Amino acid sequence: MFTIEHEFDATIITLVDEGDRGAPLLEDVRVSAFEECVTVAQPDPRTGEIVTVTLSNVQLRDLAAALNLPEGSYRRT
């Protein structure tokens, strides 16, 4: 399950773990898309602190492309 919210300066997507056949549930993941970058945030279950990763738009495009490619090293031109 996921939700999408449009705020003044960002689009916020929250991914909710609904479980998979008895597997332990993970904390929600919050993806915030800004004009210049995208952040992915999730609470660390050991500390409770929010861990955030920031991706540039180029990194995000590379990640999207990588999801559909076989193992290897690539450079987008």
Q: Give the 3-state secondary structure of residue 59.
A: helix
Q: Beta strands of 1-77 (E only): which ranges?
A: 2-6, 11-15, 29-33, 37-43, 50-56
| More confident position, 65 or 37 | 37
More confident residue, 39 or 20: 39
**Structure confidence at residue 67 (pLDDT):** 84
pTM, to two decimals: 0.83
Tell me the C-alpha distance between 44 and 35, whole Å: 26
**pLDDT at site 33:** 95
Nearby residues of 66 by Cβ (< 8 Å), 6 or more positions away = 74
The DSSP code for 66 is H
